[in-house]
Structure 1
C-alpha cells in the first residue's frame, strides 16, 4: 500500500468527506492517555484555537489531543507509545489523512502511523462511554476490553512517518492512501507521546448494497451511503459536499454557500413569470452512491435567510467512470458533451425552508448515476436529499 507525504499543493482528497468528524458521528473509543487534552478534540470540525493565558490543573490548555511526557518504556501500556481508537462516523473508502499539529510546537507528536480495520458490530466488545476527561490514563480494565480487538494487528495504511511542528502555515501533514477496501475503525499511533490538534480521514462512504431491499427508498446522494461531490463552480463560503451530510445542517457553515456574483446588474428586475433577470448561475455535480431512479427530492435552505438562491434546477444523467474523470480534469467545462436530462425544472426557493418534490414535479424517471444542482443566481443551500430506488445501469462503467 503506497502513501505519500505532504506536497506543496493541498491534495485532491481534501474535497472528499471527513469520515471521522464529530459532525458525521465519528467518536473516540479508547485512548491510552488524555493527560493534558482529550482525544475527542481530534475529531472537532472547527479549526483549532489557542488561548495563551488558559491553564487547567494539569497544565496548559490545548485544543487537541495531548498526552503526558513518557519517562519509561512500557509504563502504563506495553506498546511504549500512545495510541487511540476511532470509530468512523461513516464507514467507507479512505483516500487520505490529515494530521494537523496547529499550535503544538514544543509539544507535538514527532511521528505517527495509522492502522485500520473493517469490523462487524458483533466483533466490537462492550466499551464504556469515555466522557470528556483530562489528567487521566486508560485503566487496566479499559485496556483489557479494547485489547479484544487486537488493534496492533490491524492493516497499516500509513507506516511510521515524521510530523512537522504546528507553526503557522506549516502544521498540516497530508498522507495519501491507495486502498479500495471499506474501513470502519482507525488506530492512530503517536511516537512516543505528545500532541496533535486535529486528525481527519478523507474518503467517501460505502454501503453494502447487496443487503438492501429493492423496493425500499434510499437517499441515493447521501454521503453516508456513498454519494460524493465531484465538481462545482464556486465554494467561497461553504463546500457543496456539505449538503449531502448527515442530518439537518447545524449552521450556514454546514452548507454550500457561494460568493455573490459580480455580474449581477446594479438594478434588479423580474420577468413576467417572477424570475430574476440576472445572468449566470452556480452549480455542483454529485455522483450517486448507487445508480437509481429518483422519486422524491428535498432541497433545504435551513439557516439561509438573507442569502438563499432565487431558483434551482436539477439535471440527471448516466456518466461512465471515464466521463467523470474527464469532467474532473477539465473542471466540467461547458463544452464537455454530457447527456444531462431535466430532473426538476427551474423552481422558486424560499428562505430557511425545506422544499419537497415528488412524482408530480419530477421529469426524469430513468436510472441515473449523477446529478447536477444549479442555483441562480447565487447563495446558499444546506441539504440535498434524493430518495429513490437503487437499480443497476448495464451501460454505465461502474
Structure 2
C-alpha cells in the first residue's frame, strides 16, 4: 500500500494546531479534522456565518495570517492539500507552506524562532477547491506553517507524506505495528468498509468506522492483512481490539511471521477464537527476528486496533537511528548530535555504540 498518501497532520494521528495569528470567525483546530468539511448555509453564530474550518477576520493592516500545525507523525512531505471547501467570497487568493523540525514539545517562542523552510512557495489558491501542491524536499519535518495572503478561510489542511518516526524511543518493548513507530500495512485482502491502516493508529477507536472491516465473504477462504513491523523484531504478545465490532468481529484469527519478503510464513499464533467488542490478548512463543506479520481472520469481519508488542532485534535500532538522522534537516541534525555531546560529523562515521547512545 502507498505510504505517501498518509495525512501526517490529521488529528487521528495526534496532529494539533499549535498556534495561529487569528481565528476570529472559525477555530484553527478544525483545519486537521479527519472528516470532510460540513456546511449548513442557514447556520449563523455570534461572529457571523459558521464554517467548518479556520477563518480569520478581514485584515486592515499590512501582513498575512498563518497557522502552525504539529504533525501527528513527523515525516517526509510529498503533497500539500489546502482545501477551501465552502469558502467562496472569503478564501485566501494565495497561500504558502513552510516546515521545520523541532525536538520534543516546543513552546510558541521556540516555534517563532525556528528555522522554517519553504516547501510550497507563495502560490495561487481557488475558492471551494482542494488546492493541491507538490513538495520537492527530501528532509523530514515535525511542524508545518500554513500562510494565507492576506486573510480568509481554509476548511482543511492535508499534509501527505511518509512517516519518519523518532527511533530513539524504540529501545524497549513497544508496539512494533504502530504507525507512529514505523509500522505499516503492506497488503490487505479487502477494505470494503474502511481503511486497514486505521488499526495501526494511536489511541482507541471512537466507533466501528475507525477500524478495519471487510465485506461479507460469500466464497471459500478468509480475509487477511499483512503488517510490516518497525524493524526486525522479537514479538512477545498481540492485542487485537474488537471494540465496537459486535455482530461483525471475526470468529477466529491466526498470526504468521516471516523474516523477509522472500521467506515463507511461519505460524506464531495458532488459529484461535476471539471475542467481539473487547481486547483479545495472546502470548506469543519466542520467534526468530521477524519483519512482517500476517493476520488471518476467519472467515471475514473486522477489528478496531492491532498491537504487536515486542523489541527490535540485533542492530535494527542502530540502523533505524542512522536512517532517521540522514533525513533530518541540517540544523536539526546538528542540534541532536550536540545535545548528545557529539561533534557534527557525518552519520556514516558514527559507531553502533554511538548511535545506540542516542536512544532514550
Q: Cα distance, 1:15 vs. partner? A: 4.6
Stretches of structure 1 that go unaligned for 5 or more consecutive residues are 1-10, 74-79, 128-144, 264-278, 324-336
Q: Which moved more, 1:171-180 or 1:292-301?
A: 171-180
1:78-227 correspondence to structure 2 within 5 Å: 80-121=63-104, 124-125=106-107, 127=108, 145=109, 149-151=112-114, 153-166=115-128, 171-210=129-168, 212-213=170-171, 216-227=172-183
Q: Cα distance, 1:204 vs. partner? A: 4.4
d(CA) in 2 for partners of 1:164, 1:284: 39
Q: Cα distance, 1:88 vs. partner? A: 1.8
- DSSP-derived class of the 1:23 partner: helix
Deviations 1:295-335 (A, max 9, x none): 1111110000011112222222233xxx6xxxxxxxxxxxx
The residue number in structure 1 matching 2:265 is 340
The residue number in structure 2 matching 1:330 is none
1:1-398 correspondence to structure 2 within 5 Å: 12=2, 15-16=5-6, 18-73=7-62, 80-121=63-104, 124-125=106-107, 127=108, 145=109, 149-151=112-114, 153-166=115-128, 171-210=129-168, 212-213=170-171, 216-263=172-219, 279-319=220-260, 339-359=264-284, 362=285, 365-392=287-314
Contact 2:3 2:162 in 1 (8 A): no
Contact 1:13 1:95 in 2 (8 A): no
Deviations 1:13-41 (A, max 9, x none): 5653x322223322112111112111111
The residue number in structure 2 matching 1:327 is none
Q: How many residues align?
A: 319
Q: Normalising by the residue count of structure 1, what TM-score does the alignment of the two structures yield?
A: 0.73
- DSSP-derived class of the 1:297 partner: strand
Contact 2:75 2:162 in 1 (8 A): yes
Cα distance 1:365–1:338, how it changes in 2: closer, same or farther (>3 A)? closer
d(CA) in 2 for partners of 1:20, 1:59: 28
- DSSP-derived class of the 1:346 partner: strand
Q: Cα distance, 1:63 vs. partner? A: 0.3
Q: Cα distance, 1:223 vs. partner? A: 1.1
Q: Cα distance, 1:165 vs. partner? A: 2.4
More helix by share: 2
The residue number in structure 2 matching 1:137 is none
Cα distance 1:175–1:46, how it changes in 2: closer, same or farther (>3 A)? same
The residue number in structure 1 matching 2:348 is none
- DSSP-derived class of the 1:90 partner: strand
- DSSP-derived class of the 1:158 partner: strand
d(CA) in 1 for partners of 2:87, 2:255: 45
Q: Cα distance, 1:181 vs. partner? A: 2.9
Stretches of structure 2 that go unaligned for 5 or more consecutive residues are 324-360
Contact 1:204 1:227 in 2 (8 A): no
Q: Cα distance, 1:189 vs. partner? A: 1.1
Q: Normalising by the residue count of structure 2, what TM-score does the alignment of the two structures yield?
A: 0.80
Contact 1:204 1:228 in 2 (8 A): no
- DSSP-derived class of the 1:184 partner: strand
- DSSP-derived class of the 1:41 partner: helix
Contact 1:204 1:226 in 2 (8 A): no
Q: Cα distance, 1:376 vs. partner? A: 2.2
d(CA) in 2 for partners of 1:178, 1:370: 30
Contact 1:81 1:190 in 2 (8 A): yes
Higher relative contact order (CA 8 A, sep 6+): 1
- DSSP-derived class of the 1:243 partner: helix
Cα distance 1:157–1:298, how it changes in 2: closer, same or farther (>3 A)? same
Deviations 1:136-155 (A, max 9, x none): xxxxxxxxx46x6335x411
d(CA) in 2 for partners of 1:161, 1:237: 36
- DSSP-derived class of the 1:221 partner: coil
d(CA) in 2 for partners of 1:342, 1:178: 42
Cα distance 1:351–1:173, how it changes in 2: closer, same or farther (>3 A)? same
